[in-house]
A = this chain, B = another copy of it.
Amino acid sequence: MNTKTRNAFWEGLFWIILIAGIYMSFGVYAKGSKSIYIGLIAGIMALLFAAIKTAKIMSKNKGSDTMAAISNHIYTGAMAFLKREYKILSCFVVIVAILIAVFLNIKTSICFLCGAFSSALAGFIGMSVSTKSNSRTAHAAGKSLNKAFRIAFNGGVVMGMTVVGLGLFGLTLLYLIFKDYDIINGFALGASSIALFARVGGGIFTKAADVGADLVGKVEAGIPEDDHRNPAVIADNVGDNVGDVAGMGADLFESYVGSIIAAITLGALCLNLMGAFLPIIIASIGIFASIIAVYFVRTKENGNPMLSLQIGTTGAMLLVLAASYFFIKSWFHDLGANGIFFAILIGVIAGTLIGYLTEYFTSYNFSPVKNIAKSTETGTATTVISGLDIGMLSTFFPMAIISIATISAFLVIGGMESYTLGVYGISLAAVGMLSTVGIIVAVDAYGPISDNAGGIAQMANLDKEIRERTDKLDSVGNTTAAIGKGFAIGSAALTSLALLCAYATVVNLSDIDILNPFVTSGILFGAGLPFLFCSLTMGAVGRAAGKMVNEVRRQFKANPGIMTGECQPDYKKCVDISTKAAILEMLLPGILAIGTPLVVGLGTAALTNKIIGAQALGGMLMGAIATGVCLAIMMANTGGAWDNAKKYIEEGHFGGKGSAQHAASVVGDTIGDPFKDTSGPSLNILIKLMTIVSLVCATLFIG
C-alpha cells in the first residue's frame, strides 16, 4: 500500500468515524442531559482531523536538499524559540498555579494548568506542522497552484483544528469533572497566560527579526528580502510563524474558551442545564462545519486563492447557521428558540461584517489603500497622515457594529423581559462568532506557510513559474492576516464584555454605575492603560530590532564570506537574539496586564470597601476595553493598509519599485510593522487577560 492509498484509507476511515460521531452527537446524546458529551466527541474529531492532515502533509515531498535545509533551519529556529519560551512559561505557570491553589482553590489551579498546557500544546503542534509545510508547499508549486495551495492551507488546518479540538475537549472534560463553571474559569486563565507569551512575546520576536533583517539587509547591504546571506532571514521566517500561527492561535484559543465559559456561566443562570450546554453544542457544530468546509477549499490554476478561502469560511458559517437552527428548534420547542437562534446569527453576521470592513480598509482593491498609495506622491509625511486617517476612520465602524450587535443580541432573545437571558444572548453572539474559529485560524496560519514557501523558493533559486505561484499564494496572506486580526479583535471585545458580565455576576455586583466616581475614575484610569501598554510594546520592538541590527552588522563585518556566499551566516544567533529580547521585553507588559486589576481592585477595596473596590475594577476594565479595542483596530488596520499600499506601488502603480513614492510607502510599512504585528494584537491579550484575572480573583472581592 503506497502512501497515497494509505492516506486515502485513513481519510475514508476518518469520514466514517466523523459520520458516526455526528450521529452519536445529534441522534443519541442530544436528546438527553448527556448532550454535553457532544463537546468531547467534537473535540476528538477535530484532533483526529488534525492528525490525518498532518500525516498527509508529511507524506509530501520536501523538495531539493537546499529547500529541505532551509526549511529545517526555520523548523529548528522555531523549536528553539518555543523551547526557551516554554521553559520560562513553565516557571511562570507553576508559580501562578501555586498562588491560585493557595489563595483560591486547588481545583481552579488544576484547570489553570490544563488550560495553559492545552494552549501551549496547540502552539507546539501548529508551529511544528506549519514550519514543516513550507518547503513542501514550495515543492508542490512546481506541479500546480492548487497542489501548493492545498498543502499550505492544510498546514493551517492542523493549527486551527488543534486549537478548537484541545479547547473544546479540555473545557468540556473539566466541566464534566468539576461540574462548576466558576472552577473552569481557571482553564481560560491558563489559556490567557499562554496567549500573553505567544502574542506579546511572539509579536516582539517577529518584528524585531523583520525590522532588523530589513534595516541592515535591504537598506544597508542592498540584498533583497529573503536572501539567504542575511543572518536574520531565518529569524524573520520563524517570526512569521510565531506571529500568525502561534500568536494568533493562542489569541483565538483564549477568546474561544473564554466566550464559551462565559456563555456557560450565564446560560446556567437563566436556562439551567440546557442553557449551559448550548454553547458547547454550538461550538461542536462549528467544529463539524469547519471540518466539512475544509473540503470546499480548492483552487484552479488561474483561480483566485482568496475566493477559495472565502468559500471555505463562508461555507462553514452557513453550515453552522443551518445546523444550529434545526438543533435549537428541536431543543427549545417554544417560541424562545427563534430568539436564541437570532442571537447566534447576529454574532455570525457581526464577525462577517467586521471581516469585510477590514478587507475594505486594508486591501488594495478598494479606494482607501489606493488613496494612501496616491498620497505617497506628496511625500512621506502625507503617506503617514493618510494612513492614520484611514486607520482612524476604519475604527469607528467595527465599534458601531459591535455596539449594535451587542444590543440586538440582547433584545432578540428577550432581554427587556429577562436581563440574564439578554446577557446570555450577548454571550451566545460571541460563541456564534467564534464557532468557526477552526477554519478561521486555518486561513490565518495559511499566510506564514505560503510566505515561507515564497521565501524558500527565493532562497533556493527555484524557477520563475514556481515563484510566481508562491507569490500568488503569498499575496493573499496579507489580506487574510488583516481579516484574521479584525476577527481576533472583534471576538476579543465580545469575549471581554462577556467575561466582564460573568465577573459582575460572580462578585454579585448590583451595578457598575458610571455616576459612581470610583467607577468613573476606574474608567479613566483603564482608558489610559492600553496607551501605556502600546508604548511599552512599541519600545520593545525598537530595542530588540536595534540588537538585531548590531548582530547582523557584526556578522557581515566579522565574516566577509557571508556576502560572497562562501560561508553560511550564523542564523541561530539571530534567532537567539529575537528569542531573548521577546522574553525579556514582555515582562513589564505582562506584569502590567496581570498586576493592575489586582492593585486597582484591592487598593480601592482597602481604601473604601470590597464592593466599591470591585466596582472601581469593573470601571477600569470597561475603560480598558473601550480604548483597547479602538486602538487595536486602528493599529491593525493602519498597519495593514500601509503594507498593502506598498504592495500596490510595487505592482507598478504610482511610480512602482524604486521610485520616491515607493520609498515613502516603505516608511509607512515599517511604521505599520509594530502597529499591526506587535502592539495592536497585544491589546487583545491585555483586555482579555485583565478581565479574566479579575474574574478568577472575583472571590477576593466578596465581603
Q: Smallest CB-CB separation from A422: which chain B residue?
A: B517
Question: In the bound complex, do residue B512 and residue A407 qualify as a contact, i.e. CB atoms below 8 Å apart?
Answer: no
0 or 1 for each of A630-641: is its CB under 8 Å from B? (1 = yes): 100010000000
Question: In the bound complex, do residue A532 and residue B396 qualify as a contact, i.e. CB atoms below 8 Å apart?
Answer: yes
Name the residue in A527, A542, A618 with the highest tally of chain B Cβ atoms < 10 Å from its Cβ: A527
> Is A235 among interface residues, defined by CB-CB distance under 8 A?
no
Question: In the bound complex, do residue A670 and residue B393 qualify as a contact, i.e. CB atoms below 8 Å apart?
Answer: no
> Is A259 among interface residues, defined by CB-CB distance under 8 A?
no
Q: Which of A391-420 contact B (CB under 8 A)?
A: 392-393, 395-400, 402-404, 406-407, 410, 415-416
A677 to chain B, nearest CB (A): 13
Q: Taking the full assembly, how many copies of this chain does it contain?
A: 2
Question: In the bound complex, do residue B381 and residue A517 qualify as a contact, i.e. CB atoms below 8 Å apart?
Answer: no
Number of A residues near B (Cβ < 8 Å) is 80
CA of A526 to CA of B670, assembled, Å: 31
Q: Which of A181-236 contact B (CB under 8 A)?
A: 215, 219
Question: In the bound complex, do residue A392 and residue B531 qualify as a contact, i.e. CB atoms below 8 Å apart?
Answer: yes
CA of A630 to CA of B624, assembled, Å: 11
> Is A347 among interface residues, defined by CB-CB distance under 8 A?
no
CA of A197 to CA of B157, assembled, Å: 55
CA of A515 to CA of B419, assembled, Å: 10
**A627 contact from B384, B386, B509, B527, Cβ within 8 A:** B527
CA of A513 to CA of B516, assembled, Å: 9
> Is A390 among interface residues, defined by CB-CB distance under 8 A?
yes
Name the residue in A389, A515, A532 with the highest tally of chain B Cβ atoms < 10 Å from its Cβ: A515
Question: In the bound complex, do residue A618 and residue B514 qualify as a contact, i.e. CB atoms below 8 Å apart?
Answer: yes
CA of A500 to CA of B402, assembled, Å: 24
Question: In the bound complex, do residue A403 and residue B524 qualify as a contact, i.e. CB atoms below 8 Å apart?
Answer: yes
Contacts of A219 in B (CB 8 A): 379
Question: In the bound complex, do residue B671 and residue A406 qualify as a contact, i.e. CB atoms below 8 Å apart?
Answer: no
Contacts of A618 in B (CB 8 A): 514
Question: In the bound complex, do residue A525 and residue B399 qualify as a contact, i.e. CB atoms below 8 Å apart?
Answer: yes
Question: In the bound complex, do residue B524 and residue A415 qualify as a contact, i.e. CB atoms below 8 Å apart?
Answer: no
> Is A622 among interface residues, defined by CB-CB distance under 8 A?
yes
0 or 1 for each of A376-387: is its CB under 8 Å from B? (1 = yes): 001111101110
Stretch at the interface among A284-292, A449-457, A533-541: A533-541
CA of A436 to CA of B493, assembled, Å: 42
Name the residue in A532, A619, A629 with the highest tally of chain B Cβ atoms < 10 Å from its Cβ: A532
Name the residue in A406, A422, A541 with the highest tally of chain B Cβ atoms < 10 Å from its Cβ: A406
Question: In the bound complex, do residue B392 and residue A535 qualify as a contact, i.e. CB atoms below 8 Å apart?
Answer: yes
Q: Which of A520-565 contact B (CB under 8 A)?
A: 520-529, 531-532, 534-535, 538-539, 541-542
8 A-B Cβ contacts within 8 A? A382-B542, A389-B542, A392-B538, A396-B529, A396-B532, A406-B520, A422-B517, A513-B513
**The 9 A-B residue pairs with the shortest CB-CB distance in the complex, in nearest-first order:** A399-B528, A381-B670, A396-B532, A393-B535, A527-B626, A403-B525, A395-B531, A392-B535, A512-B514
Since A399-B527, A512-B513, A531-B630 are in contact, a sample of 11 more A-B pairs with Cβ atoms closer than 8 Å, ordered by chain A residue number, is A389-B542, A393-B535, A395-B531, A398-B528, A400-B525, A403-B528, A416-B608, A513-B514, A527-B627, A531-B634, A627-B627
